[in-house]
A and B are shown apart, each in its own frame.
Chain A
Amino acid sequence: MNRRKGDSTMNSSFPDIRFEVGKVVSDFVDWIDTTFEPLFDFIFQIASSTILGIEDGLLFLPWWVFLAIVFLLGWRFKSISSGIMYAAFMFLVGTFGLWAVLMTTIAIVLTSVVISLLLGIPLGVLMAFSKGFSVVMKPILDAMQTMPSFVYLIPAIFFFGLGNVSAVFATLIYSLPPVIRLTELAIRNVDSEVIESAESFGSSRWQMLKKVQLPQALPTIMAGVNQTTMMALAMVVIASMVGAKGLGEQVLIAINRIDIGLGFEAGISIVFLAILIDRITGGIASRFQRQKEAK
């Protein structure tokens, strides 16, 4: 623990008081790991089989069916020319020899997003309903968003070892906050007269949530899905450091080998995928938004 010398003169250096918060945290994580091991195993099983399932499904599709789906989505939510462009992007990725790797990345992103929504929407609803819970959650969410994303990799490896599941876990922590925040915001912002009118008909709390608040909040929640998906994608490269397969891994390999060609191909593939996902989810979100604004 011999830090930098220099404490000989004056009080210019910090006194030798040491609160080892890092150790406390690591003990805590240790404790969590041993205490909840069965739980983590369970989560691991579910997550890994989900990712594998999606990945196998995507790889099972003939390549041209996948391109057709991309085209149709682009056409439906953007325009016909966008549809053609997105399909062309994916085709290019295939020509780089990165098709299977692309499918892995999509599987990881999809799994993370789905789990984010499954966790984030209920948490957001709880925050909207309970002031206390909201007050507790807000700083946690702030921390989750400001903490360098690399940090999440450590507990991820710790709980789930190297591999795709760790990647999903780290991605999840990073991409969860926007869903939670936007869900809370959306539910709180539903027009109070609309809420009151539902109340005046004798709706139960559950009916109110299901029939009025969630549908009214949907456009804003969809904007959250867009953000979350983009963040999940951004996490892909970073997550490859904990052994995630996919495009990120290719980038990492390229860095290690200083292989500019591979680095460019994998990098541009990520950019293509980002454009595609952003435009399509954005298109879906703005479709909902338009419905709401026309009110």
Chain B
Amino acid sequence: MSENIKMKVQNISKIFGPKPKSIIPMVQEGKEKDQILAETGHTVGVYNASMDIKQGEIFVIMGLSGSGKSTLIRCLNLLNKPTDGGIYVDGENVVEYNNAQLKKYRQNKIAMVFQHFGLFSHRTILGNVEYGLEIREVPKSERREIAMKNIEIVGLKGYENKYPDELSGGMQQRVGLARALANDPDILLMDEPFSALDPLIRREMQLELLDIQERLQKTIVFITHDVNEAFKIGDRVAVMKDGKVEQIGTPETILEHPANDYIEDFIADIDRSKVLQAEHIMIQPNALVSLKDGLKVAVKEMKDNGISSVFVVDRQRHLQGIVTIDDAIEGIRDKKSLEDVLITDVNTVKRDEYVNDLIPKALDSKFPLAVVSDDHRVEGFILRVHVLSGLIGDESEQEEPVQAGV
């Protein structure tokens, strides 16, 4: 694996009840959560969960209420002590930490943002954000400076002397975020941080989180029960059910290859066009014509591929334009060159644009959309039908014609 694994969660189980350890053998035998509850009265919060969380990614844990998301995330900073299993951060098993080590770990490596903010109502915003630094006995002037910087990052400059109850919910959660960031943790845990907020504020906070993440590159574990939120901000997503992790993957993989019926149901009402990006629906640029090839080659290329227009590139595959079969034949008759009949006004898109955002361009154009890199190199193209068909509902996955056609 090329990417760094920041946190390795290995076979974590968390059982609630009078004698949790005694239940582990049953978990290992693979008995169901319901059965264990009926037979022993113990609740299985998390059932043998494993996952690798990579440095710098936003890892989302998603699942219905009661599926064990909070229980799992709280194991990661040991607010819950796992009944069984190991959690390795930078190679050390934090489950085995003694009190002093655990304090260090929480002070330096990991911070948490809570669903209902968990702010200290008796402290000002500044006092809240300073808290973690105060605990670590950072000198006063220094911690003031760090706190102010983080208050600014979350956009609350000017509010530092207010009390939490004087702020709106969205602003309070910004305080929660600033408080966690002030500690400069490697790992940021967020347990449904936005679910107490209005939809509008919520969307704004999601974008802002992505923005902050772009700058700070933390490793974020984010919990939500909202599929749309999960797929919007998650680099990878784990789906939980009854304490078990059912599937882990990128939003696209989960959308395209749901592991089971449960997940299929779960993602049924999601808007794909807001999750899928250009690169997920683009077609390999098999048929391409170079400028120097001339019109005859272009016609042959279109004929061979059964298409009625073809993209034209230069020697470095930089996009030059598109030529249609009608223009090409007319050009040959009139003894024109390829450049003469080239249509240069082509709509291009970047590979990470969301399909939803491509709709205007697709409506606006008669030709396929070209997917180009930053230096204008052709990486693929997208048929308008693939963008626009989404507008009239999911027409199921038909096999694409192998070659690019128009």
Q: Which residues from chain A sit less than 8 Å from chain B, CB to CB?
A: 191, 193-194, 196-204, 207, 211-212, 215-216, 218, 291-292, 294-295
Of the candidates A200, A218, A295, the one whose C-beta lies within 8 Å of that of B77 is A200
Residues of A within 8 A of B200 (CB): none
Of the candidates B106, B117, B163, the one whose C-beta lies within 8 Å of that of A200 is B106
Instruction: Give the CA-CA distance A196 to B131 in the complex, in Å.
Output: 13
Known: A196-B79, A198-B131, A199-B79. A212 touches B183 (CB 8 A): no
Instruction: Give the CA-CA distance A212 to B128 in the complex, in Å.
Output: 11
Whether the Cβ atoms of A202 and B120 lie closer than 8 Å is no
Residues of B within 8 A of A292 (CB): 121
Instruction: Give the CA-CA distance A18 to B310 in the complex, in Å.
Output: 114
Whether the Cβ atoms of A215 and B122 lie closer than 8 Å is yes
Whether the Cβ atoms of A200 and B131 lie closer than 8 Å is no
19 chain-A/chain-B pairs, Cβ below 8 angstroms:
A194-B121, A197-B176, A202-B105, A202-B132, A203-B135, A211-B120, A211-B131, A211-B134, A211-B135, A212-B120, A215-B122, A216-B120, A216-B121, A216-B122, A218-B122, A291-B121, A291-B122, A294-B165, A295-B164
Instruction: Give the CA-CA distance A241 to B111 in the complex, in Å.
Output: 60
Main secondary structure of the interface of A (DSSP, over half): helix
Of the candidates A194, A200, A211, A291, the one whose C-beta lies within 8 Å of that of B119 is A194
Of the candidates A196, A202, A211, A291, the one whose C-beta lies within 8 Å of that of B118 is A196
Minimum distance in angstroms from B118 CB to a CB of chain A: 3
Residues of A within 8 A of B176 (CB): 197
Residues of B within 8 A of A203 (CB): 135
Residues of B within 8 A of A197 (CB): 112, 114, 118-120, 176, 179
Of the candidates B114, B120, B122, the one whose C-beta lies within 8 Å of that of A196 is B114
Instruction: Give the CA-CA distance A204 to B137 in the complex, in Å.
Output: 12
Main secondary structure of the interface of B (DSSP, over half): mixed
Whether the Cβ atoms of A200 and B120 lie closer than 8 Å is no
Q: Identify the closest chain A residue to B121 (Cβ).
A: A295
Minimum distance in angstroms from A94 CB to a CB of chain B: 40
Residues of A within 8 A of B105 (CB): 202
Residues of A within 8 A of B136 (CB): 202
Whether the Cβ atoms of B114 and A193 lie closer than 8 Å is yes
B274 at interface by CB-CB < 8 Å: no
Additional pairs, 14, CB under 8 Å, beyond known A200-B110, A201-B106, A294-B165:
A197-B120, A199-B106, A201-B107, A201-B111, A202-B105, A202-B108, A202-B135, A203-B135, A207-B135, A211-B135, A215-B120, A218-B122, A292-B121, A295-B121
B280 at interface by CB-CB < 8 Å: no
B103 at interface by CB-CB < 8 Å: yes
Residues of B within 8 A of A191 (CB): 118
Instruction: Give the CA-CA distance A191 to B163 in the complex, in Å.
Output: 17
Residues of A within 8 A of B110 (CB): 200
Instruction: Give the CA-CA distance A197 to B132 in the complex, in Å.
Output: 10
Known: A200-B77, A295-B164. A194 touches B106 (CB 8 A): no
Of the candidates B107, B112, B118, the one whose C-beta lies within 8 Å of that of A194 is B118
Whether the Cβ atoms of B122 and A202 lie closer than 8 Å is no
Instruction: Give the CA-CA distance A203 to B123 in the complex, in Å.
Output: 16
Minimum distance in angstroms from A190 CB to a CB of chain B: 10
Q: Identify the closest chain B residue to A288 (Cβ).
A: B122
Residues of B within 8 A of A204 (CB): 103, 135
Instruction: Give the CA-CA distance A239 to B123 in the complex, in Å.
Output: 42
Instruction: Give the CA-CA distance A199 to B132 in the complex, in Å.
Output: 10
Known: A200-B77, A202-B103. A193 touches B118 (CB 8 A): yes
B6 at interface by CB-CB < 8 Å: no
B296 at interface by CB-CB < 8 Å: no
B386 at interface by CB-CB < 8 Å: no
Known: A193-B116, A295-B164. A201 touches B121 (CB 8 A): no
